Amino acid sequence: MARINFIELPAADIRAAKSFYAQAFGWALTDYGPTYSCTVTGDIDVELQGNTAEAPRAPLAVIAVDDLEAALAAVEKAGGIITRPIFGFPGGRRFQFRDPNGKRTGRLEKRIRLSDWLRPPRPLRGRRPHGLGRLRDQQ
């Protein structure tokens, strides 16, 4: 069954957000570029998105699925509206959609091997600053 595995939070000041969550809740956050950081517990994790062009306006649930393309087709068939087609992000690939109410936005993500996610990020040489494509070569 598909389940929520990430909650993405907008963080215009990512340093301040990382400091706050570390101090308030003891969270250890891993950086995947200068504007993207997340917990890596393997349970329901939290992502901080500091790139204002990429960040959601409100907290956003990420739902894990085994087959991203089939999930996209199922969302459309069920009446969902695709607001951003499949794209790469530091944990794999996902897309954004709106449910029939038009108010809730969610994302679906292709599951990845936990060992790939926990691996330290590679240097940013020639890549997009928030680490997009880190795992793309392995998909």
Query: Could you tell me the strand order of the sheet in which 36-38 lies?
Result: 30-31, 36-38, 45-49, 3-10, 60-65, 105-110, 92-98, 81-89
Q: Note the pLDDT tens digit of each residue in 33-77.
A: 899 999 988 788 999 999 988 888 888 888 888 888 988 999 899
Number of domains in the chain: 1
What CATH number did the domain enclosing 99 receive?
3.10.180.10
In the chain, what's the furthest Cα-to-Cα distance? 44
Read off the amino acid at residue 6. Answer: F
pLDDT value of position 134: 36
Read off the amino acid at residue 99. Answer: D
Q: Note the pLDDT tens digit of each residue in 68-78.
A: 898 899 989 99
95: nearest Cα among 112, 114, 75: 75
Taking the model in full, what pTM does it have?
0.68
- 21-25, 53-57, 67-71, 124-128: segment of lowest average pLDDT: 124-128
What is the residue range of 133's domain?
3-138
- 4-8, 10-14, 72-76, 126-130: segment of lowest average pLDDT: 126-130
Do the beta carbons of residue 62 and residue 94 sit within 8 Å? yes
When comparing pLDDT for 94 and 123, which is higher? Answer: 94
